[in-house]
Structure 1
């Protein structure tokens, strides 16, 4: 049993020190030694001058002193932000460290820079030692291995002590093989050490994780925004066009006037949808920079009547009651509230077209958000009601209520598909601090949205808070 385990363990051990991963880590160390050379050459000049103008490379002690000076010099440059980015790329490619354990991008905080400087000094310092051994050990090992077979080698004064041509020629080959084994083990050990330290020194800091999370959240918000725009614009248009075409086909021979009206509505719907689709695709391509020639986003003031007309052209009866209330005119609504309210109404009508089974009642009103109980209190609480009205009269809300008889898809039974539009409507309301409720209500299907308008109204371009 032990013999078999030993036989299996030998190839595994050789794989760790001679396998492809070990060889790549060796290359990584050699690169570190090469990167230390400029620092080392600069350091040996200073050491040589301080030692009296001698060549530091001609003296082994001075060479090691220059090496000791070069490592702090390398660490000083390791605080540069791009050093971490370069090191991460090399570690991923050569050390076999999973990418999720390493940070993305350059180091920005001083804590990340300090950790990168520590990694940079370790990589270059250990790499220089392994590089030096890789240059010096193989030639000497070859000499020792060939020493018993070549008399000329024994006459050449190479090396010192046991590691020289004066060594016992019958022992020298074993010393050469031992040198090669030591080199391989040192390189494998150093590579494994750096691979273990890489996630510690090059891993993401809390600030990096926060920045990555914010970036993912921003990307997700953009994707959700585009999904809402595509769903609301294209989805509503397809539903309306489909129903208009069906209605026109049914009365093609009996009511040509209705057919012409339906075809005109289909033409208008498709033309508007192409413009909206072009705007959404422009946002997808150019980000939030809207093109000057892009179609303006639809709003309650400019586009609600057309939306209702196109819905009625599909054969659905829509009764709309509009009460701008304190603002006096839909054009006085904050621009963002007007846009989001239009999309919510559009989604509600789309649901009614797809899933409803009867006329649609729509009510859009601007009200003052105040406590109704206080406002209707008796004489003994008149002062309190007046104060509540004064405090809350500046906080206005846009309320959208849409009801229609439920069809096969709306009602108490849960839907098996869809739901993205209602979720998008809820997200739109949430962006403004409002809310959306959808579900059965007194035998009907009801969609109710409340959007806060803040303390005042703004025309077209601007008012309102997100």
Structure 2
């Protein structure tokens, strides 16, 4: 019983909220804004009708001539709606005043219309907004004052003059009793018409201002580009910082073991730790500069390449206790002749291969590394002893390094091969020096 009474009492409140609530008033404001924007086109339409001999007179927005003037000006509004700023401004107004947009799951397009169909839909929306807004504004300007006077007629004797005074005298007491009801009914009817118009416009907005297929494609391409950048940054952070941490850890461990017996090796290990951390901080600053996107990328350290830092990478790896057997054959023109992107990605691949060998097989292992340039390809081969089962079991979450190597090779049109070969681990990468067609 209580629920029935509460529902019965809440129904009028819901109805008034639908007519005069916050959302209804904001949509009303949106319609009045459309009426204000329609005024220049209405004036142009009036000039056209007057030039054709049609008289424009009487109360504004009420007579047929005014409606004809508005209709005559709306084609010009459709033409001006083809300008690029129209859709962004319309979408902003719809999101702010109509209560619809991306926040409620309704998708609206951002930016100017890119295709003819999108511009046409924008012109339809703008014309519809101005036309309905003009009619709504005219009704508001006419009905609200008149209904207010009728509503206050019994309470303000000064209002009982003129045509309303004659109505009051002819109707007698019944006019005095019914006039407040008539005034309230007029206001409710006006609010209902405005709420209906606002709801219809809000329903039409996604269809007319929503993204076209070209917009969806552009957004998908933007998201794909963002994901590609994020993936590249993740690989850079993993390879650079991960290798640095592994190398520094092994160098520190090796230096601690011979601290009292081999001071020269300790000094070399500490120097390698200093160089590794300094370079890694510079590379980390470069990656964070891309994330910040402050336009200061030119001040960050450039990405290392085979030409600029392969010797340093091998030296720092040896300082960590690794035994490297290297075969380097850069071809007749040297590593400096490699395409910059190939040289950068190859450096990261070599870095990750050495890092994996040190991380999984431990210090003191012998790693055979071959980097050769021949027949239009850059070949990288690294093999080292397999890690002990205890070491492998103690390292959860592995596999990101090999996946990163495969991703780098695939982006350049290359291929990778990795796996156990008898008692050794083999990694082989081939990168073409020319982009695939």
Give the structure-1-normalised TM-score: 0.82
Number of the residue aligned with 1:247: 254
**Tell me, what secondary structure is at the counterpart of 2:111?**
coil
Number of the residue aligned with 2:324: 318
Query: Does 1:206 pair with 2:213?
Result: yes
1:284-303 alignment to 2 at 5 Å?
A: 284-285=291-292, 291=298, 295-303=301-309
Following the alignment from structure 1 to structure 2, what is the Cα–Cα distance between the partners of residues 149 and 279? 77
Number of the residue aligned with 2:287: 280
Number of the residue aligned with 2:27: 25
Query: Does 1:366 pair with 2:346?
Result: no
1:98-109 alignment to 2 at 5 Å?
A: 98-99=101-102, 100-109=106-115
Asked if the contact 1:44/1:56 (under 8 Å) is kept, the reply is: no
Return the match for 1:351 from 356, 367, 372: 356
Following the alignment from structure 2 to structure 1, what is the Cα–Cα distance between the partners of residues 86 and 10? 41
Q: Encode CA deviations 1:270-310: one digit per residue, 9 max, x unaligned.
A: 3333443344344445589862x654432223422221111
Following the alignment from structure 2 to structure 1, what is the Cα–Cα distance between the partners of residues 390 and 137? 74
Q: Encode CA deviations 1:242-293: one digit per residue, 9 max, x unaligned.
A: 21122112211111111111122222223333443344344445589862x6
Following the alignment from structure 2 to structure 1, what is the Cα–Cα distance between the partners of residues 86 and 405? 46
Following the alignment from structure 2 to structure 1, what is the Cα–Cα distance between the partners of residues 56 and 154? 39
Alpha-carbon distance change, 443 to 154 in structure 1, aligned in 2, over 3 angstroms:
same
Return the match for 1:219 from 226, 234, 240: 226
**Tell me, what secondary structure is at the counterpart of 2:255?**
helix
Query: Does 1:42 pair with 2:40?
Result: no
Asked if the contact 2:54/2:65 (under 8 Å) is kept, the reply is: no
Deviation at 1:317, TM superposition (A): 1.3
Asked if the contact 1:156/1:165 (under 8 Å) is kept, the reply is: no
Asked if the contact 1:282/1:290 (under 8 Å) is kept, the reply is: yes
Number of the residue aligned with 2:160: 154
Alpha-carbon distance change, 305 to 409 in structure 1, aligned in 2, over 3 angstroms:
farther
Asked if the contact 2:235/2:404 (under 8 Å) is kept, the reply is: yes
Q: Encode CA deviations 1:108-149: one digit per residue, 9 max, x unaligned.
A: 211111111111111111111111112211211122223345
Number of the residue aligned with 1:448: 428
Return the match for 1:69 from 63, 69, 72: 72
Give the structure-2-normalised TM-score: 0.87
Asked if the contact 1:44/1:57 (under 8 Å) is kept, the reply is: no
Structure 1 runs not aligned, ≥5 long: 369-395, 455-463
How many residue pairs match? The answer is 426
Following the alignment from structure 1 to structure 2, what is the Cα–Cα distance between the partners of residues 410 and 351? 16
Return the match for 1:406 from 386, 393, 400: 386
Asked if the contact 2:415/2:431 (under 8 Å) is kept, the reply is: yes
Following the alignment from structure 2 to structure 1, what is the Cα–Cα distance between the partners of residues 390 and 370? 20
Could you say what the CA RMSD is over the residues aligned between the two structures, in angstroms?
Answer: 3.1
Asked if the contact 1:101/1:204 (under 8 Å) is kept, the reply is: yes
Alpha-carbon distance change, 165 to 290 in structure 1, aligned in 2, over 3 angstroms:
farther
Q: Encode CA deviations 1:151-203: one digit per residue, 9 max, x unaligned.
A: 5433312599x9x9966444333221211111110111111111111111010
Query: Does 1:175 pair with 2:155?
Result: no
Number of the residue aligned with 1:96: 99
Deviation at 1:410, TM superposition (A): 9.8
**Tell me, what secondary structure is at the counterpart of 1:253?**
coil
Return the match for 2:278 from 245, 265, 271: 271
Alpha-carbon distance change, 140 to 55 in structure 1, aligned in 2, over 3 angstroms:
closer
Alpha-carbon distance change, 56 to 157 in structure 1, aligned in 2, over 3 angstroms:
closer
Structure 2 runs not aligned, ≥5 long: none
Following the alignment from structure 1 to structure 2, what is the Cα–Cα distance between the partners of residues 86 and 165? 52
Number of the residue aligned with 1:377: none
Number of the residue aligned with 2:14: 12
Q: Encode CA deviations 1:74-98: one digit per residue, 9 max, x unaligned.
A: 2221111111101111111111113
Number of the residue aligned with 1:460: none
**Tell me, what secondary structure is at the counterpart of 1:157?**
helix
| Range with bigger deviation, 410-419 or 66-75 | 410-419
| Range with bigger deviation, 197-206 or 426-435 | 426-435
Query: Does 1:417 pair with 2:424?
Result: no
